[in-house]
Chains A and B, each alone.
Chain A
Amino acid sequence: MTTCSILGTGLYAPGLESPSQAAPVLRGEQAYQAAELPSPQLDCLPRNERRRTTPAIRLALAAAQQATVNLDAAGLATVFATSSGDMPLVDTICTSLAGPDRALSPTLFHNSVHNAPAGYWSIATQAHGPSSSLDAYDASFACGLLEAAVLSATEGLEVLFVAYDLSMPEPMHAQRPIDSDFAVALVLSPPRDGTPRLELERAESAAATVCADPSLEHLRTTNPAARSLPVLSALAGDSPSRVVLPYLDEGIGLAVMCTPA
């Protein structure tokens, strides 16, 4: 079992534009209604860097910025998790490569690395610590959360964890139907008093926790980063509750005991 505290939370998704704005929906007091997600205000990036970013990078950094608003971001290690990464960019690159002139733009190419958001974040915040960018398909949130918690626990670090997935463009959407944008961020630390807390444990033969609200459940199942919703709901509640996240193999989950502040 690995235990960590939560020092900050971020959320940027349609109709859920921050943890505080989303709280009534996450607590089940209000029905979820999707709404068009505005392009985020990224004050954390200098203008010349912001100009080079893509929607995927901006989505990830929107949640990261929220979660670190009261923290010294330069001192945080980072873990970024995404299943599909920057697929609009991959679409542009593969379309170019299939055409008569295969020339790629240098910025397009360097933005194509899976760790592009982590790179922009480190430039913006001058965070020089460990940083990982990972992928575990539909278990990307669970595996990223575990990696971040394990990094925090074994090295005694405060870790910014961001999970994000962008809606999928055609023609890929037909094979990988991700219908909306979703980014979530948690700043984890070794356990300390007076903070919300997560305890992670492997759960054999456990079914994944679902969202009671059907619209929220639809969001959960159609974006890998939105698999985080039951954890966010538990943390928005008043009492400890146990959530099971879908993990790598059928019937095996990652259990997360969530204790709100």
Chain B
Amino acid sequence: MQTLHLTGYTTISALGLGNTTAVDALRGMRGGLSRCDFEDVDLDTWIGRVPGVDEAPISGHLAAYDCRNNRLAAMALDTDGFATIVARARQRHGSARIGVFMGTSTSGILETEHAYRRLDSDGSLPADYRFRENHEIFSLTDFVRRRLELQGPALTVSTACSSSAKVFATAARHIQAGWCDAAVVGGADSLCQMTLYGFHSLQLVSANPCRPLDVQRDGISIGEAAAFALLERPQDADAGVALLGYGESTDGYHLSSPHPEGRGALEAMRAALQRAGLDAAALDYVNLHGTGTPANDSAETRAVAALTGHGVPVSSTKGWTGHTLGAAGATEAVFSALAIEHGILPGTLNLDTPDPVLAPLDLIRSSRSGSVNHVLSNSLGFGGSNCSLLLGAA
């Protein structure tokens, strides 16, 4: 495929705001999970909460879009100069030639949860509730394109936990087909009661900070995050990180359990390598989906072992941020970009005893420095929706 450069990117998560904060935390093995204190949730669990969201309402002409999910997006746009980088690209390309493709799983459903707690006596929604700007799955993309004043093609991808990885593929295709020259991609997902109680109902939430790949792993910690990247065709003076390939697949196995052999994950990874014209031997690091559920880590490590053998260092960064669901793909794509730019192989926080039953892999336990040129980042979602991104040094 035509290589695309990440001419800007940013991440906000439980680690804090911005790329430098994330790199420092990854290097220093400092995680962001905390005991759940979200609203009146009565579950014994840990969460990855972004600091300062409650104090950052959206004001001005887009105030109608104010909701926790769009606040995450707004905070990320203001981090690492991302909005300014996009504004410069808008000068170069024109607003109609930059697409906006966002991933989210629950968008602003938290506001709907609140609205249902204060329905009027006749059962109607409170007057200040705004379905389109708050709840709608498209609200995130709508907000971002208005905030950045972009009028290119746009849509929200919502394929559960692969959402904001798949937007990289959507953007690459729209650029290749000539519908735009650049694209803002990324995603945001915010804490809400539906995911906390929903994953709890499936017995997929841990009572402790999640422990990907560990023999005692027993579920996810839910986190919130937003991450963005600007994708453009290579320009002369560019250096940094590039999207070299992507692969998408579907398990066709179960709505909420992965194929036990990781069949779909393997297909997605193979497709990403093929699109980039690379062998698995070229990989320096695989950022696993690595949620910390028994089923995911078992299936995914089998798939990675089938692809790479034992030879490629792998880790999961979910122990730092929690599972940020629809924002996980973009968050971990940015972590992968940071691994390349800063020469860092992130470890696997909370991994004490690797599960001996898992397929043997070169697990990175503590973060270390090293040259990183090619990274594969996996995102595997409910509905059997898989996406693997291949990022490389530009």
Contact = CB atoms under 8 A, between A and B. Distances in A.
Interface of A: 1-2, 52, 78, 83-85, 90, 93-95, 97-98, 102-106, 108-116, 118-120, 122-123, 125-137, 140, 143-144, 146-147, 150-151, 153-155, 170-172, 174-176, 202, 248-249, 252
B250 A122 contact: yes
Interface stretch (B287-295, B307-315, B378-386): B378-386
Nearest to B1: A154
A150 B174 contact: yes
A98 B119 CA distance: 10
Given A132-B248, A147-B170, 18 more contacts: A85-B137, A95-B116, A103-B197, A104-B200, A105-B201, A114-B105, A115-B158, A115-B382, A115-B385, A122-B251, A128-B251, A130-B169, A133-B157, A134-B158, A146-B153, A150-B173, A150-B179, A202-B179
A11 B306 CA distance: 42
Closest 10 interchain pairs by CB? A119-B383, A114-B158, A109-B198, A130-B248, A135-B137, A175-B131, A122-B252, A110-B256, A94-B116, A98-B116
A217 B312 CA distance: 58
B381 A97 contact: no
Interface stretch (B22-30, B64-72, B122-130, B212-220): B122-130
B154 interface: yes
A102 B39 CA distance: 13
B383 A104 contact: no
A128 B137 contact: no
Contact of A135 (B136, B198, B249): B136
A186 B152 CA distance: 24
B289 to A, nearest CB: 16
B154 A171 contact: no
Determine which residue in A132, A143, A170 has the highest number of CB atoms from chain B within 10 A of its CB, and name it: A132
Contacts of B125: 171-172, 174-175
B124 A90 contact: no
A110 B381 contact: no
A239 to B, nearest CB: 27
B252 A171 contact: no
A139 B197 CA distance: 32
B136 A113 contact: no
A220 to B, nearest CB: 19
